[in-house]
Amino acid sequence: MEELKHQIRMQATANVFQTMGTEGSGAKVIEQFKSMPDELLDMLGTNAGIKKEHLPIYRKLTRGEENDFTEKLQNFKDELKTGDIILVTGTSNSSKVLAKLQKTVYSKARSSHVVIVLADFICIDAMPNIGVSLKLIPEVLNDVQEGWRIIRFKGLQEKDSELLSKTCAYYIEQPYIILPKKKPAKKFSYCSELARKVYLDSKIKNTGIPNNTIIKPCDFDKIADQNSQWLDVTDSVKPYVEFCIEYEGVLKFIAKSFTQGIELNRQRFSERRKVKENVSKMHKKGVITDSGAAQIKNKIELLEKSLNYKFWDYQ
């Protein structure tokens, strides 16, 4: 959260510059942007999904001025943290049926869906027809019943949070398939299966998350109810969550830089894969020597090993 607070203004400014498609030196653009009339900024904000009542905050954010949003953001006793697990039951009939069916496995089952927090107000979610994608907390809690819960593993260190965040990003765009397996799936995800393998892949120990059984949302209900290594932080983070819901448009605007960064990382992996494929074709045709082809591929592989983010479909 501290990093987020530090970067909010820079992210906001970067987003608007992208929206405008402005070219030129950074300093010149910033000065032009600061001198923009309110009417133009309001138009940009409206196009970005900012509510009318939040346009004054948007203007101050993009101009780097103090505002109610950043002031309120600094005063919460607790916020969502990387690795937090969100347990919800949807309002659809299928969600209600799933929650009921699980009572045969765990009598206190109440959740039909599991979501994991990647960072701050950004979560990672596995949904039918969409697959694994990034979602903001207001989107996660849209169309869910009252009584949602958020649980947090007690033993997380800073290094664990960093690894959890990278692992969450690793599974973006994995297809959603409910194919129950005892072991984590490598090429598909469903909600509780995704949460399990994020923790397992991050080498977080003693979580109590079942590793040798078909994983279900009710397994996380049981953890929430019975496992002393997990805290129910619902009440402590609720004011923060309500704040996020109130300022959803502003959060979407701020989060755009992060989501576009992930998309760009994935795009670069795709481009490098095509380069390697072309090198292989040219090598077969004799256009590139053995050593030349090996050298290019080695350079790409060394580069990718050094990157912060890696992805399941580019390995």
- Indicate whether 70 and 96 sit together in one domain: no
**Number of separate domains in the chain:** 2
Question: Are 93 and 45 within one domain?
Answer: no
Q: Per 3-state DSSP, what percentage of the chain is helix, strand, and coil (rounded to 5)?
A: 55, 10, 35
**94 and 224, same domain (yes or no):** yes
| pLDDT at residue number 18 | 43
pLDDT digits (tens, 9 = 90+) for 77-113: 999 999 999 999 999 999 999 999 999 999 999 999 9
Once rounded to an integer, what is the mean pLDDT over residues 277-284?
86
Q: The sheet that has 131-136: what strands, in order across it?
A: 131-136, 122-127, 113-119, 85-88, 149-153, 230-232
Distance from C-alpha of 49 to C-alpha of 280, rounded to nearest angstrom: 46
**71 lies in a domain?**
yes
Report the pLDDT value the prediction gives residue 156, as an integer from 0 to 100.
Answer: 92
Q: 37 and 176 share a domain?
A: no
**Residue 147 sits in the same domain as residue 22:** no
Identify the band that residue 29 occupies on the pLDDT scale cut at 50, 70 and 90.
low
Q: What is the mean pLDDT of the chain?
A: 87
Percent of the chain scoring above 70 in pLDDT: 90
Q: Are residues 59 and 161 in the same domain?
A: no
**Could you report the per-residue pLDDT of 125-150, keeping only the tens digit for each?**
999 999 999 999 999 999 999 999 99
pLDDT digits (tens, 9 = 90+) for 200-241: 999 999 999 998 889 999 999 999 999 999 999 999 999 999
Query: How far is residue 62's CA from residue 54's CA, in Å, rounded to a whole number?
Result: 12
CATH number at residue 150: 3.90.1720.10
Q: Which phi and psi (to 5°) does residue 186 adopt? A: -95, -25
pLDDT at 6 over 70: no
- At 25, the pLDDT band (50, 70, 90 cuts) reads very low
pLDDT band at 301 (very low <50, low <70, confident <90, very high): confident
* CA 146 vs CA 36, 136, 149: distances in Å: 43, 18, 9
- Same structural domain for residues 146 and 207? yes
Residue 31 above 80 pLDDT?
no
Alpha-carbon torsion, ordered 79, 61, 141, 214, to 10 deg? -60
128 shares a domain with 27: no
The pTM (predicted TM-score) of the whole model is: 0.83
Residue ranges making up the domain that contains 96: 85-238
> Domain boundary residue among 205, 238, 271?
238
Q: What is the pLDDT of residues 47-70, one digit of tens each?
A: 888 999 999 998 888 888 888 888
Domain annotation covers residue 260: no
Section 276-298 average pLDDT:
85
What's the pLDDT score for residue 30? Answer: 60
Q: What are phi and psi of 229, to 5 degrees?
A: -80, -5
The Cα 170–Cα 309 span in angstroms is 7
Burial of 282 (0-12, 13-18, 19+ CB in 10 A): middle
Cβ–Cβ < 8 Å for 124, 195: no
Q: Is the residue at 16 inside a domain?
A: yes
Are 52 and 137 members of one domain? no
